[in-house]
Amino acid sequence: MECKTRTNLPINHCAEMLTRTLRSEVGLFAQPLYKWVTPRFKLEMRNAGGRFSLYQGPGYLFRWKWGVFSHVIAIYAVVFKYSIMNVYLEVCMIKVEEILSTLSPNQKVNYDKVFQKMASTWQEAGLRPNILMHVCCAPCSTYTLEYLTQYADVTIYFANSNIHPKAEYQRRAAVTAQFVKEFNQKTGQSVGYLEADYSPQEFFKKTQHLANEPEGGDRCKVCYDYRLDKTAEKAVELGFDYFGSALTISPHKNSQTINAVGIEVQKLYDTQYLPSDFKKNGGYQRSVQMCEEYDIYRQCYCGCVYGANAQGVNLVQVKKEALEFLKTHRDYSHIPFKVLDKN
């Protein structure tokens, strides 16, 4: 398990997490400290009930000395409002590697089951992590949001400079934002929407030498890496707990490759990759159904000019239709997005 911190949050948040910590597996020796801290510093201890599995994760062996150390540090942080540790201990932000380490090296990974194990850990701890989820279009956002919002607070990140032409990028962005609005209205969720700058020159610079690669080949892998890198960078900038991608909902995308790329990207940033395979358990079929329910535009090609040409897509017609759409569908300022406190 990993212990992360956020700074300058209300003392009650810290008190709540400290209480849960003190009632964890090492509660026997921690209870005296708990009883001493509470009255002296007038901390409001909330939601103290229940069992909090602070040090129990797949492949993690509990060590008493680390239990003692972390409890002392937690109490010190609360009492003295230490600026670095102060003071929201997110003790259950489990890493994907911890689960993968328990599997056979030759085993094909079911990334949906890996996600479910991570989500179970959050639920046991009573946590809802903040996730920045890359999406490529509204259809891929559908079931992804329906599934993820059961467990976490989600902001989707439309970062797809691979899409050509620009008008089609703008149409897909507008349709995605409109879906988020309607999804929130229908479900009562507060999914946020964030859109990256359109920088096709960056994409072409990375992929022009791979123009003749087939769909699903090395060019696509570079594209996954490019977009997941953008997402991870933004997740760090805004303080999200995890970053991930809805690309895995497509039956035309290799989820093993996408997740492998995501795990590699996380090594470059101070954030965690969220594994997924959203097409599992009827996820793709549900996305098709939701597109009908919300009357969502479904594009006929993935996005890049290489793939469109290979499929024989008429990009002139695509641009014409996109521009017609944009004449009446440009404003999505109503979509909520709240930047997390980074201080």
Spatial distance between the Cα atoms of 131 and 134, rounded to a whole number of angstroms: 10
Instruction: Please tell me whether 300 is known to bind a ligand.
Output: no
Instruction: Please tell me whether 304 is known to bind a ligand.
Output: no
Report the run of H or E that residue 155 belongs to, with start and end: strand 153-158
Tokens for 140, please give them: 């891929």
- For 203-244, the three-class secondary structure string (H helix, E strand, C coil) is HHHHHHHHCCCCCCCHHHHHHHHHHHHHHHHHHHHHCCCEEE
Whether the ω angle into residue 129 lies within 30 degrees of 0, i.e. cis, is no
Spatial distance between the Cα atoms of 315 and 212, rounded to a whole number of angstroms: 18
Instruction: Please tell me whether 137 is known to bind a ligand.
Output: yes
Alpha-carbon separation of residue 104 from 3, 84, 101, 145 (angstroms):
26, 38, 8, 31
String of b and e for 22-34 (b: at least 16 CB within 10 Å)? Answer: bbbebbeebeeeb
Spatial distance between the Cα atoms of 286 and 122, rounded to a whole number of angstroms: 25
The strand pairing partners of 10, in sequence order, are: none
Do residues 128 and 152 make contact, with C-beta atoms less than 8 angstroms apart?
A: yes
Report the run of H or E that residue 273 belongs to, with start and end: strand 272-273
Do residues 239 and 6 make contact, with C-beta atoms less than 8 angstroms apart?
A: yes
Binding-site residue positions for [4Fe-4S] cluster: 136-137, 220, 223
Binding-site residue positions: 136-137, 220, 223
